[in-house]
Chains A and B, each alone.
Chain A
Amino acid sequence: MRLLFQRFGWVPLVAAGAILFYAARDLPSMGDPAAPAAVHVSPRYIEKAQEETGAANMVTAVLADYRSYDTLGEVVVIFTAGLACLLVLGAFTHTDTGSGESDGEMAYSFGSDVLDATIRMLTPFIVLFATYVVVHGHTSPGGGFQGGAILAVAVMLVRLVRGGAPGLKLSSTVTLAVASIGVFVYFGTGLTSLFFGRNFLDYAALPLPYEGGHLRELGSLSIEVGVFIAVTAILVLIFDVLTAGAEDP
């Protein structure tokens, strides 16, 4: 049976390829401004985003304002993924894991003096850049997801070089709690507007002394910060959980 599949495994592949290549010929030509994807809701986003949401970056406007409900689901997805990693690797059960796996400490590091000096110089700039990417997400490329990934990379680099050095260890409980705070910031923004009599995540209801686009910009900045916290914490959590039981190579 297995041999059969190995010998004829290319048949479904060729069939799928033929369908894909044939169908691609009927797609609208690339760069066509009148293509179906570019005519329905997209012009509205482009023309009104800055006026309505105060964000020059239309991707952020769609992500954090027009479709913030979707993004809420997205943050919950990544939160659930972190939780799943923790549960699958048995971080809460101390029964079947080997020695030294449950204390959250990496057993190895790539440390050397050069790497150590480099990482000391680089880390502040990476952190600064992550903050910039989040705060300027409305006027330039960036946002909570991107900034969170960059900050998580800073933490991971330090972990890789310096291993489980003192002061850098965060137990999975702590990172999970921080991630929960991020998700809570997101939910809290939505619930605040609900409390002040508008729809869930309708930033126009936030009790701040601003109006129109500026108010909505602050609302979406608030949820971006929530996303930032949650993504950073979850990526660090996943990294910690995956490397917890690693042996010295």
Chain B
Amino acid sequence: MLEVSLSTLNYWLAALLFLIGLYGILARAHLVRKLIAMNILQVAVIVFFIIVAYKTDATPPIARHGDTEPSARAYINPLPHTLMLTAIVVSVSTTGVALALLIRIHRRFGTLDEIELLEKLQ
């Protein structure tokens, strides 16, 4: 039972990070804080995938010099790493566009606070 919970602990930490991000997105009124929370959420997903890729007693997925027939047991799973490289790029793209939108909102309304924005919109 103890062993199971130790292995699960990593997943729980990733889930906790995810929940922190989710809480920030739901509960914070300031839009920049929402954006930071969204980034935390994305990091949680990335961490989760990196945990999934791990294998005990395996090395990073770069073939050692002279290893002409790499065995699947000796290297960790390269696929989640590739996918997360992609996810980081998406994260940068969404952050960039979101920041541009925030600057636009600030120019138009002079505030980034959600409550003040709702008042000004009415």
**Partner-B contacts on A (CB < 8 A):** 2, 6, 9-10, 12-13, 16-17, 20-21, 24-25, 27, 29-33, 35, 37-38, 41-43, 45-47, 49-51, 56-59, 61-63, 67, 70-71, 74, 77-78, 80-82, 84-85, 88-90, 96, 98, 139-141, 143, 145, 149, 231, 235, 238, 241-242, 245
Contacts and interface: CB of A to CB of B under 8 A. Distances in A.
Contacts of A6: 27
B62 A56 contact: yes
B51 A242 contact: no
Contacts of A98: 107
A45 to B, nearest CB: 6
A13 B23 contact: yes
B26 A13 contact: yes
State the majority secondary structure of interface residues on B: helix
A145 B115 contact: no
B15 A30 contact: no
Contacts of A63: 82, 85-86
Interface of B: 4, 7-8, 10-12, 15, 18-19, 22-23, 26-27, 51-56, 58, 60-63, 65, 67-73, 75, 77-82, 85-86, 88-90, 92-94, 96-97, 99-101, 103-104, 107, 115, 118
22 contacts: A10-B27, A13-B19, A13-B26, A16-B19, A25-B8, A27-B11, A30-B10, A31-B56, A32-B56, A38-B72, A42-B72, A49-B70, A59-B82, A62-B82, A77-B89, A85-B96, A85-B97, A88-B97, A89-B104, A141-B60, A145-B88, A242-B99
